[in-house]
């Protein structure tokens, strides 16, 4: 088996994030549930909300894309597979993620409808983000679009649960798991959101039980939703034996990891003020996966995740605003 040329290859929604500040009154007027994610089902609906938003900032986004951008900022070698349309936002996504140092080879979908996915993120003064997502072209990632060589050359394949909903990319991700495991690579999977779990609980459980997932990421709400157990410790105990590594983030309580029966824990990094929680889980995964790719211990990898998450929630947006590699090295000592 040849040595991998990339640390992490991710498959996920190729989304352009548009972030803008908003107050609670606007959230209520638009009928949104603050701090949650809701889907928009047409380009017209997405454009209508965009027109009402304040001044926004556009960057390539999507959960797994945020993670690989974070890994690249930490000095890792990464690749991303995701579908955009042949339109202006598709060009924005491709240029931006490549500029982050991430290899991106997926050809744009020839049809201009649906358009490239976008996530309209409204950030309230308390740092909570309310996301309105139009998945557009990202839902149409076919198996034929997979860069097989890229997957084979990645030490870890990272998959996001958000993309499990549509049939076409779900089949593509199953094929990618076979490619990765066929080369002896590890597969990491993030449950992404309780919304995803409620729709695909049995499917996720099957993936885990079949040994298709080596590293599983979840937060407290997601792990209890997956197991349908209200007790956190019971939920962890039910899932941990089924994966090589289980990582569960716990917001201000830090995070834990169970690796082959051994438990590790890390506290949350201190921060002056939570500004925007967008991407906290994505960047935690970036730190942890980078640590694993570098051969660090589980405990050090957890610490790297916590440092990255704390940096992200200290400002708007899901991309680091400091030299993330230098920050991690200074904090780890």
pTM here is 0.91
- How does DSSP assign 214-278, residue by residue? SEEEEEHHHHHHHHT-S-HHHHHHHHGGGSSEEEEE-GGG-EEEEETTEEEEEPPPP-S-----T
Statement: residue 278 has pLDDT above 90: no
Range from 181-185, 310-314, 316-320 that averages highest in pLDDT: 181-185
What pLDDT is stored for residue 200 in this prediction?
Answer: 96
Helix, strand or coil for residue 206? helix
- Tokens linked to 131: 């996301």
Reported as a single tens digit per residue, the pLDDT across 42-95 is: 989 998 998 999 988 888 889 999 999 999 999 999 999 999 999 988 999 999
Vertex 193, ends 125 and 102: CA angle to 5°? 85
Least-confidence region, from 93-107, 135-149, 167-181, 273-287: 273-287
Among 93, 31, 23, which Cα is nearest to 54's? 23
For the chain, the structural domain boundaries read 6-13+62-111+137-332
6-13+62-111+137-332 maps to which CATH number? 3.40.1190.20
Distance in angstroms (rounded) separating the CA atoms of residues 9 and 160: 12
The alpha carbon dihedral of 226, 229, 230, 232 has a sign of negative
The rounded mean pLDDT for the chain is: 94
- The mean pLDDT of 18-29, rounded to a whole number, is 94
Distance in angstroms (rounded) separating the CA atoms of residues 303 and 287: 8
Distance in angstroms (rounded) separating the CA atoms of residues 150 and 79: 7
Reported as a single tens digit per residue, the pLDDT across 142-179 is: 999 999 999 999 999 999 999 998 899 999 999 999 99
Statement: residue 117 has pLDDT above 70: yes
Distance in angstroms (rounded) separating the CA atoms of residues 86 and 83: 10
Q: Are 267 and 250 in contact (CB under 8 A)?
A: no
Query: What confidence category does residue 218 fall into, taking pLDDT thresholds of 50, 70 and 90?
Result: very high
Query: What confidence category does residue 19 fall into, taking pLDDT thresholds of 50, 70 and 90?
Result: confident
Q: Give the rounded distance of the alpha carbon of 331 from its chain centre.
A: 24
C-alpha distance from residue 323 to each of 70, 240, 309, 312 (Å)? 11, 34, 14, 12
Least-confidence region, from 30-44, 178-192, 256-270: 30-44
What are the start-end ranges of the E strands in the chain?
Answer: 6-11, 15-21, 37-40, 57-61, 78-81, 102-104, 117-123, 129-134, 154-160, 186-190, 215-219, 245-249, 255-259, 262-266
What pLDDT is stored for residue 134 in this prediction?
Answer: 94
- Tokens linked to 9: 């290859």
Burial of 210 (0-12, 13-18, 19+ CB in 10 A): exposed
Distance in angstroms (rounded) separating the CA atoms of residues 56 and 208: 39
Q: Give the rounded distance of the alpha carbon of 242 from its chain centre.
A: 22
- The mean pLDDT of 293-297, rounded to a whole number, is 95
What pLDDT is stored for residue 1 in this prediction?
Answer: 63
Query: At a CB cut-off of 8 Å and minimum separation 6, what does 299 contact?
Result: 264, 266
What pLDDT is stored for residue 316 in this prediction?
Answer: 73
């Amino acid at each position: 088996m040849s040595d991998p040329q990339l640390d992490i290859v991710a498959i996920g929604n190729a989304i352009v994030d548009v972030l803008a500040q908003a107050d609670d009154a606007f959230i209520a007027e638009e009928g949104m549930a603050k701090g949650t994610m809701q889907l928009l089902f047409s380009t017209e609906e997405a454009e209508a909300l965009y027109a009402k938003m304040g001044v926004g900032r556009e960057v390539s986004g999507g959960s797994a894309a945020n993670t690989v951008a974070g890994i690249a900022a930490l000095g890792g070698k990464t690749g991303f597979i995701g579908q955009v349309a042949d339109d202006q936002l598709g060009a924005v996504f491709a240029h931006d993620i490549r500029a982050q140092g991430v290899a991106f080879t997926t050809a744009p979908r020839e049809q201009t409808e649906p358009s490239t996915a976008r996530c309209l993120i409204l950030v309230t003064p308390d740092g909570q983000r309310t996301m309105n997502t139009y998945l557009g072209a990202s839902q149409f990632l076919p198996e034929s679009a997979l860069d097989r060589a890229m997957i084979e050359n990645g030490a870890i394949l990272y998959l996001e649960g958000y993309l499990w909903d549509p049939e076409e990319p779900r089949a593509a991700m199953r094929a990618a798991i076979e490619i990765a495991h066929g080369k002896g690579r590890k597969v990491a999977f993030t449950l992404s959101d309780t919304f995803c779990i409620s729709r695909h609980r049995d499917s996720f459980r099957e993936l885990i039980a079949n040994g298709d997932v080596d590293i599983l990421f979840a937060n407290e709400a997601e792990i209890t939703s997956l197991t349908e157990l209200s007790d956190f410790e019971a939920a962890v105990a039910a899932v941990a034996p089924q994966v090589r590594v289980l990582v569960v983030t716990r917001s201000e309580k830090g995070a834990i990891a169970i690796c082959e029966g051994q438990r590790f824990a890390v506290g949350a990094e201190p921060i002056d003020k939570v500004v925007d929680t967008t991407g906290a889980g994505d960047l935690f995964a970036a730190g942890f996966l980078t640590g694993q790719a570098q051969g660090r211990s589980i405990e050090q990898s957890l610490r790297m995740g916590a440092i990255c998450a704390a940096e992200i929630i200290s400002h708007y947006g899901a991309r680091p605003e400091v030299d993330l590699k230098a920050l991690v090295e200074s904090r780890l000592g």
